[in-house]
Copies of this chain bind each other. A is one copy, B any other.
Amino acid sequence: MTRKSEDVGRNTIRDVAARAGVSASTVSRVLGGVYPVSSATRARVTRAVRDLDYVADARAKAVAGVGTPTLAFVLEEITGPSFAHMAYGVEREATRLGHLCLVHGTEGDVRQELEFVEMMRAQRAAAVILVGGAADTAEYRERTRRIADSLASAGSRLVLCGRPSLGPGAPVTVIEYDNEGGAYALVAHVLAQGHRRILFLGGKPDHTTAQGRERGYLAAHSARGVEPDPALLLHGDFTRDSGHRLMRGALKQGLEFTAVIAATDMVASGALTALREGGLDVPGDVSLAGYDDIPFARDLYPALTTVHVPYEELGRLAVRTVLGRTPEAPDEHLLLGTHVVVRDSVAPPKER
Protein backbone atom coordinates (compact mmCIF):
# COMPACT_ATOMS: atom_id res chain seq x y z
CA MET A 1 0.00 0.00 0.00
CA THR A 2 2.88 2.35 0.51
CA ARG A 3 3.88 4.44 -2.41
CA LYS A 4 7.08 3.78 -4.29
CA SER A 5 8.79 6.96 -3.26
CA GLU A 6 12.17 6.13 -4.68
CA ASP A 7 12.02 8.91 -7.11
CA VAL A 8 10.09 11.80 -5.66
CA GLY A 9 11.33 15.31 -6.12
CA ARG A 10 10.39 18.49 -7.85
CA ASN A 11 9.61 17.04 -11.22
CA THR A 12 8.08 18.26 -14.37
CA ILE A 13 5.60 16.99 -16.84
CA ARG A 14 8.50 15.81 -18.95
CA ASP A 15 9.74 13.56 -16.19
CA VAL A 16 6.33 11.97 -16.07
CA ALA A 17 6.30 11.69 -19.83
CA ALA A 18 9.68 10.01 -19.85
CA ARG A 19 8.66 7.53 -17.18
CA ALA A 20 5.47 6.68 -18.99
CA GLY A 21 7.25 6.51 -22.32
CA VAL A 22 5.03 9.09 -23.95
CA SER A 23 5.30 12.74 -24.86
CA ALA A 24 4.60 15.64 -22.58
CA SER A 25 1.55 16.53 -24.61
CA THR A 26 0.02 13.18 -23.87
CA VAL A 27 0.56 13.58 -20.17
CA SER A 28 -1.07 16.96 -20.30
CA ARG A 29 -3.99 15.47 -22.16
CA VAL A 30 -4.46 12.66 -19.71
CA LEU A 31 -4.41 15.11 -16.86
CA GLY A 32 -6.62 17.55 -18.69
CA GLY A 33 -9.30 14.94 -19.17
CA VAL A 34 -11.21 15.59 -22.33
CA TYR A 35 -8.95 14.67 -25.21
CA PRO A 36 -9.29 11.10 -26.50
CA VAL A 37 -6.46 8.94 -25.28
CA SER A 38 -6.32 5.17 -25.33
CA SER A 39 -6.93 3.48 -22.04
CA ALA A 40 -3.58 1.70 -22.13
CA THR A 41 -1.70 4.97 -22.45
CA ARG A 42 -3.90 6.58 -19.89
CA ALA A 43 -3.10 3.83 -17.43
CA ARG A 44 0.63 4.14 -17.99
CA VAL A 45 0.50 7.88 -17.51
CA THR A 46 -1.62 7.85 -14.39
CA ARG A 47 0.70 5.23 -13.03
CA ALA A 48 3.74 7.40 -13.65
CA VAL A 49 1.99 10.38 -12.13
CA ARG A 50 1.26 8.43 -9.00
CA ASP A 51 4.75 6.99 -8.82
CA LEU A 52 6.35 10.38 -9.01
CA ASP A 53 3.70 12.05 -6.88
CA TYR A 54 3.47 14.64 -9.58
CA VAL A 55 1.46 17.83 -9.33
CA ALA A 56 1.40 20.29 -12.20
CA ASP A 57 2.87 23.66 -11.40
CA ALA A 58 -0.06 25.98 -10.92
CA ARG A 59 1.96 29.03 -11.85
CA ALA A 60 2.96 27.58 -15.17
CA LYS A 61 -0.65 26.69 -15.83
CA ALA A 62 -1.60 30.24 -15.00
CA VAL A 63 0.89 31.57 -17.53
CA ALA A 64 -0.51 29.23 -20.11
CA GLY A 65 -3.89 30.74 -19.42
CA VAL A 66 -5.60 27.98 -17.49
CA GLY A 67 -6.08 27.61 -13.79
CA THR A 68 -8.18 29.63 -11.41
CA PRO A 69 -7.04 33.10 -10.52
CA THR A 70 -6.49 34.16 -6.96
CA LEU A 71 -8.43 36.77 -5.12
CA ALA A 72 -7.22 39.19 -2.54
CA PHE A 73 -8.73 40.51 0.63
CA VAL A 74 -7.36 43.70 2.10
CA LEU A 75 -8.33 45.02 5.51
CA GLU A 76 -7.02 47.37 8.08
CA GLU A 77 -6.85 45.11 11.08
CA ILE A 78 -6.96 41.37 10.83
CA THR A 79 -7.66 40.89 14.49
CA GLY A 80 -10.83 42.96 14.64
CA PRO A 81 -13.76 40.64 15.25
CA SER A 82 -16.00 42.18 12.64
CA PHE A 83 -13.30 42.13 10.00
CA ALA A 84 -12.54 38.57 10.95
CA HIS A 85 -16.09 37.61 10.08
CA MET A 86 -15.87 39.28 6.72
CA ALA A 87 -12.62 37.48 6.11
CA TYR A 88 -14.37 34.28 6.99
CA GLY A 89 -17.13 34.94 4.50
CA VAL A 90 -14.67 35.82 1.78
CA GLU A 91 -12.49 32.82 2.38
CA ARG A 92 -15.36 30.35 2.58
CA GLU A 93 -16.94 31.58 -0.59
CA ALA A 94 -13.62 31.73 -2.37
CA THR A 95 -12.75 28.14 -1.60
CA ARG A 96 -16.28 27.04 -2.36
CA LEU A 97 -15.76 28.49 -5.81
CA GLY A 98 -12.30 26.98 -6.06
CA HIS A 99 -10.28 30.14 -5.72
CA LEU A 100 -7.29 30.85 -3.54
CA CYS A 101 -7.52 33.75 -1.17
CA LEU A 102 -4.71 36.14 -0.35
CA VAL A 103 -4.99 38.30 2.71
CA HIS A 104 -3.27 41.52 3.63
CA GLY A 105 -3.48 43.98 6.49
CA THR A 106 -2.67 47.60 5.79
CA GLU A 107 -2.74 48.94 9.33
CA GLY A 108 -4.59 51.87 7.88
CA ASP A 109 -1.51 52.86 5.93
CA VAL A 110 -2.21 54.13 2.44
CA ARG A 111 1.25 53.31 1.20
CA GLN A 112 0.96 49.68 2.21
CA GLU A 113 -2.38 49.50 0.50
CA LEU A 114 -0.96 50.90 -2.70
CA GLU A 115 2.00 48.58 -2.66
CA PHE A 116 -0.21 45.59 -2.16
CA VAL A 117 -2.55 46.55 -4.94
CA GLU A 118 0.44 46.81 -7.24
CA MET A 119 1.45 43.29 -6.30
CA MET A 120 -2.04 42.08 -7.02
CA ARG A 121 -1.89 43.67 -10.39
CA ALA A 122 1.28 41.71 -10.99
CA GLN A 123 -0.42 38.54 -9.77
CA ARG A 124 -3.27 39.14 -12.17
CA ALA A 125 -5.64 38.52 -9.28
CA ALA A 126 -9.26 38.04 -10.18
CA ALA A 127 -10.37 40.62 -7.70
CA VAL A 128 -9.13 42.80 -4.92
CA ILE A 129 -11.55 43.33 -2.09
CA LEU A 130 -10.86 46.46 -0.09
CA VAL A 131 -12.74 46.67 3.15
CA GLY A 132 -13.16 49.16 5.94
CA GLY A 133 -13.82 52.85 5.97
CA ALA A 134 -11.42 55.50 4.83
CA ALA A 135 -11.11 59.24 4.86
CA ASP A 136 -13.38 60.33 2.05
CA THR A 137 -11.31 63.13 0.61
CA ALA A 138 -10.90 64.20 -2.99
CA GLU A 139 -7.45 62.70 -2.81
CA TYR A 140 -8.96 59.40 -1.68
CA ARG A 141 -11.37 59.33 -4.56
CA GLU A 142 -8.76 60.11 -7.12
CA ARG A 143 -6.31 57.59 -5.75
CA THR A 144 -8.88 54.83 -5.47
CA ARG A 145 -10.21 55.62 -8.88
CA ARG A 146 -6.73 55.16 -10.26
CA ILE A 147 -6.42 51.86 -8.43
CA ALA A 148 -9.69 50.69 -9.89
CA ASP A 149 -8.67 51.63 -13.40
CA SER A 150 -5.25 50.10 -13.23
CA LEU A 151 -6.64 46.90 -11.76
CA ALA A 152 -9.28 46.78 -14.45
CA SER A 153 -6.67 47.25 -17.12
CA ALA A 154 -4.73 44.35 -15.66
CA GLY A 155 -7.83 42.20 -15.73
CA SER A 156 -8.69 42.41 -12.05
CA ARG A 157 -11.70 44.01 -10.53
CA LEU A 158 -11.85 46.18 -7.45
CA VAL A 159 -14.47 45.59 -4.78
CA LEU A 160 -15.19 48.19 -2.16
CA CYS A 161 -16.76 46.83 0.99
CA GLY A 162 -18.12 49.35 3.40
CA ARG A 163 -16.01 51.97 1.72
CA PRO A 164 -17.03 55.21 0.15
CA SER A 165 -17.90 54.54 -3.46
CA LEU A 166 -16.28 56.56 -6.20
CA GLY A 167 -17.95 58.64 -8.78
CA PRO A 168 -20.15 56.87 -11.30
CA GLY A 169 -18.46 55.03 -14.13
CA ALA A 170 -15.59 53.64 -12.14
CA PRO A 171 -14.97 49.94 -12.79
CA VAL A 172 -15.83 48.98 -9.26
CA THR A 173 -18.19 46.79 -7.35
CA VAL A 174 -19.44 48.31 -4.13
CA ILE A 175 -20.97 46.22 -1.38
CA GLU A 176 -22.26 48.05 1.62
CA TYR A 177 -24.44 47.58 4.60
CA ASP A 178 -26.91 50.14 5.83
CA ASN A 179 -24.50 51.80 8.18
CA GLU A 180 -26.36 55.01 8.84
CA GLY A 181 -29.70 53.26 8.97
CA GLY A 182 -28.48 50.92 11.68
CA ALA A 183 -27.27 53.79 13.79
CA TYR A 184 -30.50 55.63 13.22
CA ALA A 185 -32.56 52.68 14.37
CA LEU A 186 -30.39 52.11 17.38
CA VAL A 187 -30.46 55.71 18.52
CA ALA A 188 -34.18 55.86 17.85
CA HIS A 189 -34.58 52.86 20.12
CA VAL A 190 -32.62 54.55 22.87
CA LEU A 191 -34.54 57.79 22.46
CA ALA A 192 -37.78 55.85 22.62
CA GLN A 193 -36.76 54.60 26.03
CA GLY A 194 -36.86 58.21 27.14
CA HIS A 195 -33.20 59.18 27.01
CA ARG A 196 -32.49 62.71 25.91
CA ARG A 197 -28.80 63.19 26.62
CA ILE A 198 -26.99 60.45 24.75
CA LEU A 199 -23.23 60.40 24.71
CA PHE A 200 -21.76 59.29 21.41
CA LEU A 201 -18.36 57.62 21.46
CA GLY A 202 -17.40 58.05 17.82
CA GLY A 203 -14.48 57.11 15.65
CA LYS A 204 -12.07 59.19 13.64
CA PRO A 205 -13.87 62.28 12.35
CA ASP A 206 -12.92 61.73 8.71
CA HIS A 207 -13.51 57.99 8.66
CA THR A 208 -16.55 57.27 6.55
CA THR A 209 -17.83 54.41 8.66
CA ALA A 210 -17.60 56.62 11.73
CA GLN A 211 -19.27 59.45 9.88
CA GLY A 212 -22.17 57.27 8.78
CA ARG A 213 -22.85 56.16 12.32
CA GLU A 214 -22.61 59.71 13.50
CA ARG A 215 -25.05 60.82 10.83
CA GLY A 216 -27.47 58.17 12.02
CA TYR A 217 -27.11 59.46 15.55
CA LEU A 218 -27.90 62.99 14.48
CA ALA A 219 -30.71 62.05 12.13
CA ALA A 220 -32.48 60.03 14.79
CA HIS A 221 -32.32 63.00 17.09
CA SER A 222 -33.71 65.46 14.64
CA ALA A 223 -36.44 63.03 13.57
CA ARG A 224 -37.52 63.00 17.17
CA GLY A 225 -37.20 66.74 17.39
CA VAL A 226 -34.47 66.72 20.00
CA GLU A 227 -31.43 68.89 19.64
CA PRO A 228 -28.29 66.88 20.45
CA ASP A 229 -25.74 68.62 22.64
CA PRO A 230 -22.52 68.91 20.59
CA ALA A 231 -20.54 68.39 23.78
CA LEU A 232 -21.81 64.81 23.82
CA LEU A 233 -20.22 63.97 20.50
CA LEU A 234 -16.77 62.53 21.18
CA HIS A 235 -14.18 61.26 18.73
CA GLY A 236 -11.60 58.52 19.07
CA ASP A 237 -11.12 55.35 17.08
CA PHE A 238 -12.73 51.93 16.89
CA THR A 239 -10.65 50.19 19.54
CA ARG A 240 -11.51 48.97 22.97
CA ASP A 241 -8.94 51.31 24.47
CA SER A 242 -10.46 54.32 22.79
CA GLY A 243 -13.79 53.49 24.39
CA HIS A 244 -12.18 53.10 27.75
CA ARG A 245 -10.27 56.35 27.50
CA LEU A 246 -13.14 58.42 26.15
CA MET A 247 -15.55 57.10 28.73
CA ARG A 248 -13.16 57.72 31.53
CA GLY A 249 -12.60 61.26 30.30
CA ALA A 250 -16.31 61.96 30.05
CA LEU A 251 -16.85 60.74 33.58
CA LYS A 252 -14.00 62.76 34.98
CA GLN A 253 -15.16 65.81 33.13
CA GLY A 254 -18.58 65.46 34.69
CA LEU A 255 -20.50 65.31 31.43
CA GLU A 256 -24.18 64.72 31.91
CA PHE A 257 -25.83 61.89 30.02
CA THR A 258 -28.11 58.98 30.70
CA ALA A 259 -27.08 56.75 27.82
CA VAL A 260 -23.98 55.99 25.80
CA ILE A 261 -23.81 54.87 22.20
CA ALA A 262 -20.47 53.46 21.18
CA ALA A 263 -19.39 53.48 17.57
CA THR A 264 -18.46 49.79 17.81
CA ASP A 265 -18.92 46.94 20.23
CA MET A 266 -15.21 47.08 20.96
CA VAL A 267 -15.56 50.69 21.99
CA ALA A 268 -18.62 49.76 24.03
CA SER A 269 -16.65 47.05 25.71
CA GLY A 270 -13.97 49.46 26.87
CA ALA A 271 -16.59 52.00 27.86
CA LEU A 272 -18.43 49.41 29.90
CA THR A 273 -15.33 48.68 31.91
CA ALA A 274 -14.74 52.38 32.45
CA LEU A 275 -18.31 52.85 33.62
CA ARG A 276 -17.91 49.99 36.03
CA GLU A 277 -14.67 51.46 37.30
CA GLY A 278 -16.56 54.68 37.82
CA GLY A 279 -19.02 52.83 40.02
CA LEU A 280 -21.89 53.18 37.59
CA ASP A 281 -24.38 50.44 36.96
CA VAL A 282 -25.41 49.53 33.43
CA PRO A 283 -28.22 49.87 32.61
CA GLY A 284 -29.36 51.06 36.04
CA ASP A 285 -27.45 54.31 36.08
CA VAL A 286 -26.63 54.62 32.42
CA SER A 287 -27.63 52.70 29.33
CA LEU A 288 -25.07 51.52 26.80
CA ALA A 289 -25.27 50.30 23.24
CA GLY A 290 -22.74 49.26 20.64
CA TYR A 291 -22.50 48.50 16.96
CA ASP A 292 -21.44 45.41 14.98
CA ASP A 293 -22.93 42.61 17.06
CA ILE A 294 -19.69 40.78 17.57
CA PRO A 295 -20.12 37.38 19.19
CA PHE A 296 -18.92 38.68 22.53
CA ALA A 297 -21.64 41.26 22.78
CA ARG A 298 -23.98 38.85 24.45
CA ASP A 299 -21.44 37.71 27.00
CA LEU A 300 -20.75 41.15 28.30
CA TYR A 301 -22.56 42.03 31.47
CA PRO A 302 -25.09 43.25 30.84
CA ALA A 303 -25.54 41.69 27.41
CA LEU A 304 -25.02 44.46 24.94
CA THR A 305 -27.77 45.96 22.84
CA THR A 306 -26.22 46.58 19.47
CA VAL A 307 -26.70 46.69 15.71
CA HIS A 308 -26.25 43.50 13.79
CA VAL A 309 -24.20 43.74 10.63
CA PRO A 310 -24.17 40.74 8.29
CA TYR A 311 -20.40 40.73 7.97
CA GLU A 312 -20.02 37.17 6.83
CA GLU A 313 -22.70 37.59 4.22
CA LEU A 314 -21.03 40.79 3.09
CA GLY A 315 -17.82 38.88 2.44
CA ARG A 316 -19.57 36.03 0.68
CA LEU A 317 -21.53 38.43 -1.47
CA ALA A 318 -18.42 40.35 -2.39
CA VAL A 319 -16.75 37.34 -3.91
CA ARG A 320 -19.89 35.90 -5.42
CA THR A 321 -20.70 39.17 -7.11
CA VAL A 322 -17.27 39.95 -8.37
CA LEU A 323 -16.53 36.54 -9.80
CA GLY A 324 -19.49 36.86 -12.09
CA ARG A 325 -18.39 40.15 -13.62
CA THR A 326 -16.08 41.05 -16.41
CA PRO A 327 -13.35 43.35 -15.16
CA GLU A 328 -14.52 46.30 -17.18
CA ALA A 329 -18.16 46.15 -16.13
CA PRO A 330 -19.46 49.50 -14.96
CA ASP A 331 -19.93 50.20 -11.30
CA GLU A 332 -22.60 48.40 -9.38
CA HIS A 333 -23.83 48.78 -5.90
CA LEU A 334 -25.28 46.37 -3.35
CA LEU A 335 -26.70 47.32 -0.02
CA LEU A 336 -27.34 44.88 2.82
CA GLY A 337 -29.64 45.61 5.69
CA THR A 338 -28.77 45.95 9.36
CA HIS A 339 -30.98 45.61 12.39
CA VAL A 340 -30.97 46.39 16.08
CA VAL A 341 -30.45 43.51 18.48
CA VAL A 342 -32.10 44.36 21.76
CA ARG A 343 -30.39 42.88 24.79
CA ASP A 344 -30.05 44.08 28.35
CA SER A 345 -27.81 47.12 28.31
CA VAL A 346 -30.44 49.69 27.50
CA ALA A 347 -33.21 50.60 29.92
CA PRO A 348 -35.32 53.69 30.52
CA PRO A 349 -33.42 56.47 32.29
CA LYS A 350 -33.61 56.74 36.05
CA GLU A 351 -36.18 59.12 37.46
CA ARG A 352 -34.51 62.12 39.02
Contacts and interface: CB of A to CB of B under 8 A. Distances in A.
Interface stretch (A132-140, A186-194, A265-273): A265-273
A102 B63 CA distance: 19
Given A79-B84, A272-B299, A300-B299, A91 B104 contact: yes
A55 interface: yes
A81 B123 CA distance: 30
Nearest to A52: B153
A85 to B, nearest CB: 6
B300 A124 contact: no
Interface string A65-77: 0000010000000
Given A102-B101, A299-B300, A153 B10 contact: yes
A122 B55 contact: yes
A9 B63 CA distance: 17
A38 interface: no
Interface string A146-182: 0001100111000000000000000000000000000
A78 interface: yes
A85 B80 CA distance: 9
Contacts of A330: none
A57 B122 contact: yes
A5 B146 CA distance: 11
Contacts of A273: 298-299, 301, 303
Contacts of A149: 5, 8
B104 A123 contact: no
A285 interface: no
A37 interface: no
